[in-house]
Structure formats: C-alpha cells, structure tokens
C-alpha cells in the first residue's frame, strides 16, 4: 500500500460513529426555494469561482446541479449505511453501456424539488427549462440495451433494491451524427469537455487491473497446486460515481463507471532509461481503454481493445464487490446470499472466469465450491438472436490478453462437457460429439474461438430473454441444446421503461392531465394505476383535453425542429415517426417504400383525399455499416424530392432528424401520433421505444414482434395497426423458399417503387447510388422479408389514414393505449428480476 493510501485510509476512532458526526454536518433542506437559492449562489461562487451577478445559463445550471448533488449525496450516504446496517443482499448490474441522457430535470423530479427549483430560478429571472439546454446528454451507450440499463437503475432506486450499476466512463460516448449532403457524418462526442457536475471522481480508490503476461505454477508449503498470474501490464481503474435517486423515497444508489488511469507515471524506471516520451506514449495507450464507446449495436467482433474494455470494467467491479463483501463476511460460501450479479448481455461475461480466478487462485477456495458460488451468483440477460451478434473471441487473442482466464475457461469447459457426456450417455458417439460441439464454450472452425454466450449460460443460474416471443425463440432455436440440458434456466423478463422519465419528465402536460383526473400522481410509482383513466375514454370533454395535450406536444416538436433543422412541419398532419438505430432488420426501408408509394398516389391523382402526413425518421447507423448508411442517404434523398414537389405540398412531408438521442426522444415521443414498430417478426428481442410511444398515447403500426406482441395482448389488437407475417410464418416462408421476385413481379405499385429507387429517381446526380439497397431486396434475397410484408403494410397504412379522419375515435384509442400500458413499467420488470432471479423481496 502506498504511503498516500495509508494516510487516507487511517481508521476513524471506533468510538466515533457516523451519527456522532451529524451535529457538524447539516443536510441541505429539501423543498425550500430560498435554501435552494442560497446553495446555488454559494456553489456559483465557491465551487465555480464565478460571479452570481452574471446571470448566464451556464453558471446557474452548474450552481443548481451542484446544489442538487449535495442533496443526492446526503441521501446516498443514508441509503448505503442502511445496506450495511441491515446486511442486505446487493444487486450488481454489469453493463458496458448506459444512456442516462440529461440528469437535471430527472433529479429535480425524483427529489420532489422541481417546483421549488422553478420558482428559485424564476426569482433569478431565469427559466428552468432553458437551463437544461446547457446540459449534455450522457450518451454512453448505443441504443435500447444502454437505455434499458438506465431505466433499470431508476427502478432499483425507486423500489428500494440495493442496486449498483457498474460500467465504463467513456471519454467519448456515442458519436454525434450530422447530416452532410444527405449522408451521416460522425463527430466526436466530447461530452466531458466541460465539468460534469453529477459525478464524483474517486481518485484515491484506484483499482489495479492486469493484462497479458503468463501464469506461474507451483506447489505451496501445504502441497496445494497454486496458479499465479504474472501480468505484462497493469492499468488502474478510477471509480467515478453518478448518483441515481429513487422517486421521492429518499433513496439513492450509484452508477459506478470506471475510468482508465495509467500506472506508468509512477514508474520511475522510465526516467532512468531516458525514454520519457516512450513512457508517456504507453501511458496514453493504457488510458485509451476507457477512451471511446464502440459505436455498434449488434456486430463487434474480435477487437482487442474491446476485450480489454470488457475485462477492465469487470475486473475493477469484481474487486469492488469482493471488497464490500469481505467487510462483513469471511466465508465465500455465503457470497451468493449477499451478492447477485446481472450480466447485461455477454459483454461482461468474462466476470465468470474472473470470479473463479479470484476465488480459486487468490482466496484459495476449492474449485467445486467456487464454481457453485459462481453459478448461484451470476445471471445473464440475452438481448439478441442475430447470430452475428453473439460474441466470440479468437482463442489466441483471448490467451494473449487474459492467459489465466483462458485456462480457467478450458477447465470450466472440460468439466462441463463431462456432465454433457454423462447426461447423454444414451446417444450414439457421433450424435454426442455433435452435441458437444454445439454446447462447447470453445467453437472450432477456421479459427478457434471462445463463445461468450455459452460461457454466460453455463456460469449462470438464470438466463433470461427480454420479451415472451424472444424467450421462446431462445428456448426453441438459439439456445435449444442448453434448454434441453437445463430446462429451468431460461426464463422471461419482459423489458419496461421508467414512467418517471418517459411520462413525467418528457410529457408534463399528459402527466398533469392524468394526475388531475385521478387526483393523484401515484401512477408514477405504480404504473398499473394508470388503468383508472380508461373510463374517461368515453368522456368527450376528457377526450378534448387529451387531444389538446397532443396538439401542444406537436407544436413543441414543430418548434424544436424549426430551431434544430430550420423546417416548419404541418401541425394538421399525422405525425408518423420511426426513431431507433438504423438497421436492416428494423426495416426503415419498408417505411420508405410506403412514403414513395404515397407520393406516387398523390402525383397520379392530385385530387386524392389523403390525410396529410409528416413522416419523421431519426437514428444512427454504425459507422462501418454500409447498408444502414445508405438507407439514411435514401431517406434524405426521398425527403428532398418529396418536400420540394409542389403537387404533394400540404399532403406529405418527410424529414430525417439528425442526432437522435435520449433528450431528442423526450421531445419527439410525446408528439407522435403513429409509432412505427415494423421489424421483421422474430428479430427485435423486445424493443422499448414501442413502449414509450404507447404510454404517451401514440397508436402503433407494427408487426407481431418483440414486446409489441405483449402490448397488443393488453391494449387490444383493435386499438393498434398490426400487419405482416408472424415469426412462425416467416420461418415457414423461408423454409419453403422465399422468392422476393415473385412479389416484385405481381405487385405493380411495389415494382414501380423499387424501379424508381433503382432508376435514380432520387439520385439523379449520383447514378446507381441506391442500387445496393434494391439489390439487397431482390437479387440479394431480401433477408428481412420487406417484400413479403409490403402489401399488408400499405393496406394497414390506409386504415391509419381512414381512422385519423375520425379524430374523436383516434383520441379514444389513444387514451386506451396509455391506460393499458401499466405492465410495461421498468418497476414491474425489476420487481420480477428481484423476486425470481436475485432472491430479494420487494414491496
């Protein structure tokens, strides 16, 4: 231990308890605007070193944020102390991604301070909403998986689950997307450029993480075989805590993100060799580990830095978890009674061999006990069935970065395959070998690779899918062999979203109307209660107020887009929105085919009685994903043609909203009337955007995919626009030989649409630009069956048009959508995880 560390770790005199310090520490008062104002001024002066007389948004945003952080940390200390006092089991959520978005308003709402802050700022002559413009989105994730992790932390805090989020504090999060000449251009997201007022950097609690090197083996004095990892390189992990408050319950948990710090600046030998610049270069290389988020939703494979990122945060987190456990416990057999670790996808699955290493090599626990501890501790959530998205690592690379872990994985595999042999002793040798090959943690083929999903399944007591259909597909196909082997392991936990952010914060008007009608805001804590607005769907006065809220939200979005993009969209049109990552399986292209079809119909028949539509797209494409980027270009090219064609003016417009992110979603979703959830059935694990839209009263046009199926069960199919082939029908279609050409030949509108795209109608100055997109649908075999669903989609869009003319009926259905979405709160999801996976009781 360094001298510095010894000094800061000096024990407090045991007679002095935390309570006895209370007299010195005066917690900030809660809901008093005057106290808040005083704290804001104090922080502007003392923390920022600035002048409160300069009424700029920057000063006052930071002053307010720091005044809130004071209150959060006080709640956090109380919460953490109570966990120690009660010796509760802790839940650790390991996730390579989080998408918290902005924190100011969320924290004000959770602390019950929104109104006080609003008044305080008004007294200063400032508008609270405008202050939020200063804040950057914390975009430390790609899409659904990262935002889910943030919703889950919010729910854990609100339900009183003793949770911790662990991840990486990337210096550069998700890239900023700008559109230049219709194409996506990626700009670095330097979100840490200014000081982050929500974070506590704990520079004295650095954790050492090792990489590379070799394994030393010897027999110790008690005759035990010992394995010691002699690393080639060490990096330090610095914890950065962001506090996550529960909703008005005085509980606060933390998201601990690790930032890489080089070990080398302490290494004086570099000076001795005179290679100072070399030392600095290596230092930079070490710190690169937490430099940037890999910007791809689904397919990232084989990248050494990515493996290092995964191990880096897993090793630091497990160190922290074990340290905390050891404060009150000394027998590792008790570990699973005190610790639950949820793996958000396979990204943190290296935690399994890491815990084995800590237990067997460091704590000298015997293998069987250690393995039993691991199985009981870990649980794994799967998020995708895309085969190319199931993570693997080349064995050679894995062994270079984590030599001891590779040995441990081989040993886990050897023992596991023995149990497989025993279980299937009745099979023929050939059948057994095939089965073992499919189950093995090591895949053969051109290059041997470690299969992270197989490791996660074998090392966990629970494997869950994120919607009923997705879980069924895991059992029936993706993990079929594992399901046969462990019939009780695979279970479903349908995703949810937090109503604090996705209703209260993003849609204050609707929250106000519901709250006033029910005379309570309890639905924000128990979303099931929202069903009590259902009877009001038949009340014409209520319907009018509901419609007024939607129109006000639409106007808000119109103003936002005017500011951001300089376009003014038609308030009297149906706002038809598809915002999500751009991916072929999500079928933004199908939406484009509809737009072009509508365009043709209007041009062909200028007197056609159409319902005006504004079609809005938003979403990022992975920088290396050619087809997704080309789809963005097509959307923009179609938008250019449609929006400049006088014959469709007032009837149809199309826009691509750049840089879709959490804070933009908060503006777009409440204003949406038609939510596009049109992935090929069987592909979208759950989706959570689908839930956010429906909670905010949008009607869904969608396929029977992911959690949309469960939404339909609750909302009623008659209140949605469902279309297309089901997952089973897609399987049959493909088995019988799907031929996209047949659809092309027999459907004239479809043929015309595709011919226009291929024939450069939208790319006059760039011939052939969109040929690859059309090729993927025809000669390329149309992997996601757009052509098979085209006609059904177009006809269902006609139903949308018809219904929209009956505004009263549309509004009635909108109310029913919101009223029946109670199940999709992340509080319900977390309560299920807590009871069924983590072994915790929640109230």
User: Which residues are part of the catalytic machinery?
Assistant: 383, 580-581, 586, 688, 692
Structure tokens at 804: 């929209």
Q: For the chain, what is the largest distance between any 2 Cα atoms, rounded to a whole number of angstroms?
A: 94
Q: Which residue is nearest to ligand IMP (CB)?
A: 80
The residue to which tokens 């509508």 are assigned: 598
* Closer residue to ligand IMP in complex, CB, 54/81: 81
Name the minimum Å distance from CB 205 to ligand IMP: 8
Pairing of strands 574-579, 613-618: parallel
Name the minimum Å distance from CB 202 to ligand IMP: 9
Name the minimum Å distance from CB 90 to ligand IMP: 9
3-state secondary structure of 657: strand
* Interface stretch with ligand IMP, choices 73-81, 192-200, 729-737, 827-835 (CB under 6 A): 73-81
Residue among 24, 222, 327, 563 that touches ligand IMP (CB under 6 A): 327
Determine the Cα–Cα distance for residues 605 and 679; give it in Å rounded to an integer. 31
Name the minimum Å distance from CB 77 to ligand IMP: 4
CB atoms within 10 A of CB 60: 25
* Closer residue to ligand IMP in complex, CB, 341/704: 341
DSSP 48: T
Residue 578, phi then psi, degrees to nearest 5: -130, 105
* Closer residue to ligand IMP in complex, CB, 243/527: 243
Q: Shortest CA distance to 490 belongs to which of 379, 348, 413?
A: 379
Determine the Cα–Cα distance for residues 54 and 44; give it in Å rounded to an integer. 10
Residue 788's Cβ-side half-sphere holds a number of Cα atoms within 13 Å equal to 23
* Closer residue to ligand IMP in complex, CB, 84/741: 84
Name the minimum Å distance from CB 840 to ligand IMP: 18
Residue 470, phi then psi, degrees to nearest 5: -60, -45
Name the minimum Å distance from CB 27 to ligand IMP: 14
User: What kind and span of H or E run contains 292?
Assistant: none
Q: Does 440 bind ligand IMP (CB under 6 A)?
A: no
- Extended strands (E) in 107-206: 138-140, 163-168, 176-180, 183-187, 199-201
Determine the Cα–Cα distance for residues 397 and 618; give it in Å rounded to an integer. 37
Three-state SS for 386-421 is CHHHCCEEEHHHHHHHCHHHHHHHHHHHHHHHHHHH
* Closer residue to ligand IMP in complex, CB, 84/271: 84
Name the minimum Å distance from CB 22 to ligand IMP: 13
* Closer residue to ligand IMP in complex, CB, 319/556: 319
The residue to which tokens 């996705």 are assigned: 502
Name the minimum Å distance from CB 339 to ligand IMP: 12
Q: CB–CB of 632/658 below 8 Å? A: no
User: What kind and span of H or E run contains 789?
Assistant: helix 786-805
Task: Give the Å distances, CA to CA, from 22 to 17, 25, 249, 828.
Answer: 9, 5, 21, 36
Size of the site for ligand IMP (CB under 6 A): 6
* Closer residue to ligand IMP in complex, CB, 173/239: 239
Residue among 71, 147, 236, 324 that touches ligand IMP (CB under 6 A): 324
Which of the residues 123 through 162 are near ligand IMP (CB under 6 A)? none
Name the minimum Å distance from CB 111 to ligand IMP: 19
Contacts of 168 (CB under 8 A, 6+ apart): 96, 140, 257, 258, 259, 290, 293, 309, 312, 313
* Closer residue to ligand IMP in complex, CB, 81/423: 81
Q: How far apart are the first and last CA of the chain?
A: 43
Task: Give the Å distances, CA to CA, from 512 to 56, 109, 458, 519, 549.
Answer: 30, 13, 48, 10, 10
* Closer residue to ligand IMP in complex, CB, 324/581: 324
Determine the Cα–Cα distance for residues 633 and 806; give it in Å rounded to an integer. 35
Which of the residues 78 through 97 are near ligand IMP (CB under 6 A)? 80-81, 84
Name the minimum Å distance from CB 347 to ligand IMP: 23
Name the minimum Å distance from CB 703 to ligand IMP: 45
* Interface stretch with ligand IMP, choices 75-83, 306-314, 544-552, 705-713 (CB under 6 A): 75-83
Determine the Cα–Cα distance for residues 319 and 325; give it in Å rounded to an integer. 10
Determine the Cα–Cα distance for residues 191 and 185; give it in Å rounded to an integer. 18
Name the minimum Å distance from CB 320 to ligand IMP: 7
CA angle, corner 402, sides to 400 and 405, nearest 5? 130
* Closer residue to ligand IMP in complex, CB, 12/219: 12
Bridge partners (DSSP) listed for residue 178: 185
Task: Give the Å distances, CA to CA, from 690 to 511, 586, 706.
Answer: 19, 12, 9
Name the minimum Å distance from CB 84 to ligand IMP: 3
Q: CB–CB of 733/785 below 8 Å? A: yes
Site string for ligand IMP, 273-312 (x = CB under 6 A): ----------------------------------------
Q: Shortest CA distance to 211 belongs to which of 350, 321, 98?
A: 350
* Interface stretch with ligand IMP, choices 74-82, 123-131, 216-224, 738-746 (CB under 6 A): 74-82
Structure tokens at 236: 């330090």
* Closer residue to ligand IMP in complex, CB, 81/187: 81
* Interface stretch with ligand IMP, choices 77-85, 447-455, 669-677, 716-724 (CB under 6 A): 77-85
DSSP 502: I
* Closer residue to ligand IMP in complex, CB, 24/327: 327
* Interface stretch with ligand IMP, choices 76-84, 570-578, 593-601, 813-821 (CB under 6 A): 76-84
Site string for ligand IMP, 651-690 (x = CB under 6 A): ----------------------------------------
Q: What is the sign of the dihedral through the CA atoms of 410, 416, 422 and 425?
A: negative
Residue among 35, 41, 77, 518 that touches ligand IMP (CB under 6 A): 77
- Range list of H helices, 441-536: 452-458, 468-473, 480-485, 499, 508-518
3-state secondary structure of 654: strand
Task: Give the Å distances, CA to CA, from 202 to 170, 198, 240, 242, 770.
Answer: 16, 13, 6, 11, 51
* Closer residue to ligand IMP in complex, CB, 250/285: 250
Q: CB–CB of 827/155 below 8 Å? A: yes
Please report, as ranges, the residues that interact with ligand IMP according to CB under 6 A. Answer: 77, 80-81, 84, 324, 327
């Amino acid at each position: 231990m360094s001298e510095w560390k010894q000094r800061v770790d000096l024990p407090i005199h045991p007679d002095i308890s935390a309570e006895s310090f209370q007299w010195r520490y005066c917690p900030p008062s809660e809901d008093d605007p005057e106290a808040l104002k005083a704290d804001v001024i104090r922080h502007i002066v003392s923390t920022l070193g600035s002048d409160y007389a300069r009424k700029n948004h920057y000063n006052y945003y930071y002053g307010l944020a720091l005044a809130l952080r004071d209150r959060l940390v006080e709640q956090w200390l109380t919460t953490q102390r109570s966990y120690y006092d009660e010796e509760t089991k802790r839940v650790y959520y390991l996730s390579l991604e989080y998408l918290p978005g902005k924190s100011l308003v969320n924290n004000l709402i959770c602390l019950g301070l929104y109104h006080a802050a609003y008044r305080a700022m008004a007294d200063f002559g400032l508008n609270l909403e405008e202050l939020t413009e200063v804040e950057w989105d914390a975009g430390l994730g790609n899409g659904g998986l990262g935002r889910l992790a943030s919703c889950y932390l919010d729910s854990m805090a609100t339900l009183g689950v003793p949770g911790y989020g662990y991840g990486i504090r990337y210096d550069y999060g998700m890239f900023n997307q700008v559109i230049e000449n219709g194409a996506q251009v990626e700009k670095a997201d330097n979100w840490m450029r200014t000081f982050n007022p929500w974070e506590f950097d704990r520079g004295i609690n650095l954790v050492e993480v090792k990489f590379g090197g070799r394994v030393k083996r010897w027999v110790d004095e008690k005759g035990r075989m010992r394995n010691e990892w002699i690393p080639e390189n060490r990096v330090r992990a610095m914890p950065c805590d962001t506090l996550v408050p529960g909703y008005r319950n005085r509980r606060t948990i933390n998201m601990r993100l690790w930032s890489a710090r080089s070990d080398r600046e302490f290494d004086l030998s570099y000076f001795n060799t005179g290679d100072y610049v070399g030392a600095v270069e290596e230092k930079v290389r070490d710190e690169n580990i937490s430099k940037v988020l890999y910007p791809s939703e689904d397919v990232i494979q084989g990248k050494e830095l990515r493996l290092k990122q995964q191990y880096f945060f897993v090793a630091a987190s497990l160190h922290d978890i074990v340290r905390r456990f050891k404060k009150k416990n000394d027998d590792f057999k008790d570990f699973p009674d005190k610790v639950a670790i949820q793996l958000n996808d396979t990204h943190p699955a290296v935690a399994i061999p890491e815990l084995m290493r800590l237990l067997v090599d460091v704590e000298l626990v015997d293998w069987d006990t250690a393995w039993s501890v691991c199985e009981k501790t870990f649980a794994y959530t799967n998020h995708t069935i895309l085969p190319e998205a199931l993570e693997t690592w080349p064995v050679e690379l894995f062994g270079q970065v984590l030599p001891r872990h590779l040995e441990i994985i081989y040993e886990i595999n050897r023992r596991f395959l023995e149990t497989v042999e025993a279980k299937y002793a009745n099979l023929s040798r050939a059948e057994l070998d095939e089965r073992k090959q499919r189950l093995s943690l090591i895949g053969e083929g051109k290059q041997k690779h470690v299969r992270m999903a197989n490791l996660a399944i074998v090392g966990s007591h629970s494997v869950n899918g994120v919607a009923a259909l997705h879980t069924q597909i895991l059992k029936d196909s993706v993990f079929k062999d594992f399901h046969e082997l462990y019939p009780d392991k695979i279970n479903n936990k349908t995703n949810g979203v937090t109503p604090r952010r996705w209703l209260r914060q993003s849609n204050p008007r609707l929250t106000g109307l519901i709250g006033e009608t029910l005379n309570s805001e309890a639905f924000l804590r128990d979303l099931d209660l929202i069903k009590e607005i259902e009877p009001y769907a038949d009340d014409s006065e209520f319907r009018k107020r509901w419609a007024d809220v939607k129109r006000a939200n639409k106007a808000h979005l119109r103003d936002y887009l005017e500011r951001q993009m300089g376009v003014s969209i038609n308030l009297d049109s149906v706002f038809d929105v598809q915002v999500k990552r751009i991916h072929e399986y999500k079928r933004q292209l199908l939406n484009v085919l509809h737009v072009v079809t509508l365009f043709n119909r209007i041009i062909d028949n200028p007197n056609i009685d159409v319902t005006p539509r504004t079609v809005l797209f938003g979403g990022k494409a992975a920088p290396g994903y050619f087809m997704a980027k080309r789809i963005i270009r097509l959307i923009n090219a179609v938008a250019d043609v449609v929006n400049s064609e006088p014959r469709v003016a007032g009837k149809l417009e199309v826009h691509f909203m750049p840089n879709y992110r959490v804070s933009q979603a908060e503006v777009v979703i409440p204003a949406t009337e038609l939510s596009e959830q049109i992935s090929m059935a069987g592909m979208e694990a759950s989706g959570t955007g689908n839930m956010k839209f429906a909670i905010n009263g949008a009607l869904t046009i969608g396929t029977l995919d992911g959690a949309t199926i469960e939404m339909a069960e609750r909302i009623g199919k008659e209140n949605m626009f469902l279309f297309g082939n089901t997952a089973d029908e897609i399987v049959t279609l493909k088995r019988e030989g799907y031929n996209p050409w047949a659809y092309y030949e027999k459907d004239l509108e479809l043929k015309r649409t595709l011919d226009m795209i291929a024939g450069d109608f939208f790319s006059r100055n760039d011939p052939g630009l969109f040929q690859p997109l059309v090729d993927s649908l025809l000669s390329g075999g149309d992997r996601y069956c757009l052509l098979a669903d085209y006609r059904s989609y177009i006809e269902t869009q006609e139903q949308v048009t018809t219904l929209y003319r009956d505004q009263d009926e549309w509004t009635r259905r909108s109310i029913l959508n919101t009223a029946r979405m109670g199940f999709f709160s992340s509080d319900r999801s977390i309560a299920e995880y807590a009871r069924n996976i983590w072994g915790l009781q929640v109230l």
